[in-house]
Amino acid sequence: MKRRGFVGALAALPTVAAQDFPKLEFAVPDFGADPNPKFFSKPHLAALKRLGDLILPAINGTPGAIEARAPEFLDFLLGESPADRQKLYRDGLEALNAQSRRKFAKAFADLDATEADQVLAPMHKPWTYADPVDPLAAFLRAAKADVLTATANSREWISVVSQRNRNASGTAIYWKPVE
């Protein structure tokens, strides 16, 4: 279309005042769809789900890591992460399963809470600033923080907790990219 024709077509459109433009509601992807995990192997993802459920289970109506789909979110996050972080998780989940098989002849995902607690012994040690040397302990330290954050920052968690505590809205000032 030539410019004159285009301008003419624009002029023929009915004008819409800003306040008349309908406000459209959009959902975040997690709300309307299920994630497709692709970073972790099936045994590793199963172990991470079990670990997530142990670190932050659903308690008294507050969603836990599973309801918040924190393990699936971490699958996405780790897939985007630097190599050293990916190695920390892969080595840690491998160690988690290896210890479980050595002690109980089954994968971590299949352990009951009492059995799992033995494998998770490093989580009962006081936190120090020195980084753990043991890969499993280092992984558990990272996973604890990540599972808690991924859960507490989920829509599922915030929609429940914000009902009880106005300060838990999970809302903050976002700086838009500027061109």
149 is a contact residue toward other proteins (CB under 8 A) = yes
Of 135, 155, 160, 161, the residue at the interface with other proteins (CB under 8 A) is 155
90 is a contact residue toward other proteins (CB under 8 A) = no
Q: How far apart are CA 69 and CA 63, in angstroms?
A: 10
Of 40, 73, 89, 139, the residue at the interface with other proteins (CB under 8 A) is 73
Taking the complex as a whole, the smallest distance from the CB of residue 16 to other proteins amounts, in Å, to 20
The DSSP-derived string for 33-71 is S-----SS-HHHHHHHHHHHHHHS--BTTB--TTTTTHH
80 is a contact residue toward other proteins (CB under 8 A) = yes
Q: How many residues contact other proteins, by CB under 8 A?
A: 43
Task: State the binding string over 30-69 for other proteins (x if CB under 8 A, else -).
Answer: x-----------------------xxxx-x----------
Of 9, 101, 145, 163, the residue at the interface with other proteins (CB under 8 A) is 145
Q: How far apart are CA 68 and CA 59, in angstroms?
A: 13
Taking the complex as a whole, the smallest distance from the CB of residue 106 to other proteins amounts, in Å, to 20
153 is a contact residue toward other proteins (CB under 8 A) = yes
How many CA atoms, within 13 angstroms, populate the side-chain half-sphere of residue 91?
14
The phi, psi pair for 59, rounded to 5°, reads -130, 125
Of 5, 22, 126, 167, the residue at the interface with other proteins (CB under 8 A) is 126
Q: Angle 113-114-119 (CA atoms, 0-180°, nearest 5)?
A: 90
85 is a contact residue toward other proteins (CB under 8 A) = yes
CB atoms < 10 A from the CB of 12, how many?
7
Of 2, 4, 102, 176, the residue at the interface with other proteins (CB under 8 A) is 176
Say if CB 75 and CB 37 are below 8 A apart. Answer: yes
Q: How far apart are CA 119 and CA 108, in angstroms?
A: 9
The phi, psi pair for 11, rounded to 5°, reads -65, -30
Residues that bind other proteins (CB under 8 A): 28, 30, 54-57, 59, 73, 77, 80-82, 85, 120, 123-129, 141, 144-146, 148-150, 153-155, 158, 169-179
